[in-house]
């Protein structure tokens, strides 16, 4: 992903003075920086997006920043170079869950159906179903409710996040 066009868009929206569009451009620039392996630049851009979203009360923009920070393991607060603490590391090691299974588990925990999980992760509903079955087996739980409860206990889901 090319960073230069995103950085140009950031500069253009700064010049116009439209903070929401600036935040959108910053998300693109952060994604491009993360794809290039420049974690510091990605963290700076995603943090700035979160600050703009908070100032505007733009929940969707804030969610985009949080999602990118989580996926790229970037800190939204504190030292620019410090990666965010990932509660998924414990689950990954303790329950032998893959990164994809952790993402599916987070979606199960917030009440998503297999079809909704499939749409959000760009996979088939059957693949989502297989992931859910594998997760339940690895966690040693009988159903989605128990899996969700365990995900919350492990800190994999922000409890303040609306369902």
What was the pLDDT predicted at 2? 80
Query: Given pLDDT bands bounded at 50, 70 and 90, which one contains residue 160?
Result: very low
Q: How many residues does the chain have?
A: 163
Residues 43 and 68 both lie in one domain: yes
Q: Which of 12, 47, 72 is the last residue of a domain?
A: 72
Q: So what's the pLDDT on residue 161?
A: 46
**Domain, as residue range, for 113:** 88-153
- Give the pLDDT mean for 59-65: 90
The pLDDT tens digits of the residues spanning 72-129 come to 777 776 444 444 445 677 777 788 888 899 999 999 999 999 999 999 999 999 999 9
Mean pLDDT, the chain, rounded, equals 85
Do residues 95 and 148 both lie within one domain?
Answer: yes
The count of structural domains within the chain is: 2
**CA neighbor of 24 nearest in space, from 52, 57, 4:** 52
65 touches 48 (CB < 8 A): no
């Amino acid at each position: 992903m090319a960073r230069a066009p995103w950085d140009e868009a950031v500069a253009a929206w700064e010049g116009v003075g439209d903070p929401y569009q600036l935040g959108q451009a910053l998300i693109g620039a952060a994604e491009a920086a993360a794809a290039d392996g420049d974690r510091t630049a990605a963290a700076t851009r995603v943090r700035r997006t979160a600050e703009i979203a908070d100032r505007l009360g733009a929940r969707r923009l804030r969610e985009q920043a949080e999602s990118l920070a989580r996926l790229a393991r970037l800190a939204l607060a504190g030292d620019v170079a410090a990666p965010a603490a990932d509660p998924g590391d414990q689950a990954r090691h303790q329950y032998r869950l893959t990164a994809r299974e952790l993402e599916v588990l987070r979606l199960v925990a917030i009440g998503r159906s297999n079809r909704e999980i499939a749409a959000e992760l760009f996979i088939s509903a059957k693949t989502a179903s297989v992931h859910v079955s594998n997760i339940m087996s690895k966690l040693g739980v009988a159903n989605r409710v128990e899996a969700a409860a365990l995900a919350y206990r492990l800190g994999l889901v922000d409890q303040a996040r609306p369902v």
